[in-house]
Chains A and B, each alone.
Chain A
């Protein structure tokens, strides 16, 4: 017998909120991976497991859909996969996960699937919940009616899988075409589903599904115009407090680990270009990115858990009242809030938004929310602006966040009215409000793992490559020691070791400053200086802005190196701040005036300045065009706002 080239494939299909992903996790465990379907931005999970009597089988978790015939990308994709339209391979068996407590609507999808005449197994999930609601279906009767195996399961508890797995194996081993019995052509799908359920009842039936008083009360509270917003604020505050409180420990650990690793490699490797490349380029660059991993994993863990509870659908309605005025849907709130931690998970979280135009608009404005990478920049610049006036510095700091959020709303408003592809108001909200449930720890854990790996794969590799390039640009070509530095070193030789330390440090400083100025990055700074001169920046600040395109926080370390020659400098260090404040341009004037500091602050509130975010936008939108638009409009907005700020303050006499 000829062996097939690829292992058999099982597709999981079902309505949203039927426990499809839980079934997938039960079958595949932790070895699943998340990826987009080829040529789309629709996410799917791919996994595999060993099927007794069959061998390894692949499992693909299709997106949750209500109908195959709906004109939405997810439904069209499911049809293409089921029919094996290239580049997809048709599944050998389709497992439809049906919510037993809501069988009629779920069966409508089964009816549509049966028309595709593929070997099918129906996994009748949540039978325990259905029974509590007074609805008992006879799986055997239903299977007879549909012409395919129907297996009752409770995916959350893992019950029923001992029958589901052999049923899948039996369908895979089928040698004759399936004899499924779906609705006849021209039949009303809803009538067929109703009749099928009527014929398969195995017990009492809940008549009219009386309202669950707890659900009613929770819905009343969570969607209330005032209580709903307060509850939302409390839940989100709790979520972000947990995020920052719990993520800080592993973040510190990662930072310390990379610091030790860099130190160890620095000691083990012989001095030279290779050591500098590994320590400063590779380890330094990767550390700057990987440090955000705990935040990302924890955030997706918490969001997955929150989504599982059924609350997010209610929250979407609460926020829809505010956001819809600016052309954003209520679903956009969680991604935008998430973007305050980091724009990357914020953009990844836009997968929660069903409409593509809404999703694109949210992705385009997400980088305007002030992320944690902006914190060191805000701290530095507000401290320079309001030295010795902590109240004003605090107010300016808070204003940065408000200004970013306001700009995001206004930008969404403008984009919806100026881009043909985004034109029109958001789709009116109509959402299924899933039952309230306890979240699944396993689902949340797997989501966090998948998103974490995804982050490392898509961002870490790019960041590492760019870090190496940026290191090379700032390290080469090597410059010979300056005469002043050589003179200082000669002078130091004649001094006692304690007294020699200062002139030696000064000599190093002069050499580093000269090396920076003569490096490719320095030359680039001088070349680009005319573009940023109207904003008040000299070549040193220009290099800071250019290198911060890699990541915003690089701005502070670049300035620390360029202006004071101390690469280990920290923003909190008062000495460093004082030195940056008193740093001079080539003509002897201060680098940071009030107008320059304010201009730089405004620039960083609006500017894209994050290569990793740009790459993620490219990946999530499936096109460089959107990434280019995002970079272009945010850079233009930042430049114009900084220009107006600088020139306005100069006119007012602030310098």
Chain B
């Protein structure tokens, strides 16, 4: 399987699917993001490609400020 290079979340178009690859956030914010459900293990769908960036993990919709979205690296995935 061909590996896709990670890109910033802000480079994804609305409706695309991806998986979190890494983030440049402080430990507390990273832990909160993970507790909200956005972790490296989960696929998510980008529902809104502007601030607030809205991602949907399973049934949870999470809103992210620009400052967070810019620091998230994701790997695009094909839609299910």
Contacts and interface: CB of A to CB of B under 8 A. Distances in A.
Contacts of A313: 63
Given A433-B54, A433-B63, A191 B41 contact: yes
B45 A211 contact: yes
Given A70-B35, A105-B37, A209 B51 contact: no
Contacts of A519: none
A405 to B, nearest CB: 23
Interface in A414-430: 427-430
A433 B51 contact: no
Interface in A18-71: 66-67, 69-71
A314 interface: yes
A107 to B, nearest CB: 11
Contacts of B61: 215, 219, 432-433
A208 B45 contact: yes
B58 A190 contact: no
A623 interface: no
A223 interface: yes
Most buried by A among B28, B57, B61, B67: B61
Contacts, number: 102
Interface residues of A, number: 39
Given A66-B35, A223-B48, A429-B52, A102 B62 contact: no
B48 A105 contact: no
A208 B63 contact: no
Interface in B56-80: 56-65, 67-68, 80
* Interface residues on chain B, size class: 20 to 34
A432 B36 contact: yes
Contacts of A102: 58-60
Contact of B58 (A66, A69, A105, A191): A105
Contact of A220 (B32, B48, B57): B48
Most buried by A among B25, B43, B67: B67
Contacts of A188: 41
B58 A104 contact: yes
B36 A429 contact: no
A216 interface: yes
Interface in A108-157: 108, 133
B62 A431 contact: yes
Nearest to A190: B41
Nearest to A102: B59
B7 interface: no
A175 to B, nearest CB: 35
Contacts of A211: 45, 47, 56
Contact of B47 (A69, A105, A219): A219
Contacts of A391: none
15 contacts: A72-B28, A105-B35, A105-B36, A105-B58, A105-B60, A207-B80, A208-B43, A208-B58, A209-B56, A211-B45, A219-B54, A317-B52, A428-B68, A431-B52, A433-B54
**5 nearest interchain CB pairs?**
A66-B35, A429-B65, A317-B52, A433-B61, A67-B35
Interface of B: 25, 28-29, 31-33, 35-37, 39, 41-43, 45, 47-48, 50-52, 54, 56-65, 67-68, 80
Given A208-B43, A430-B64, 13 more contacts: A70-B35, A72-B28, A72-B32, A105-B36, A108-B35, A206-B59, A209-B59, A211-B47, A219-B48, A317-B51, A320-B52, A430-B65, A432-B62
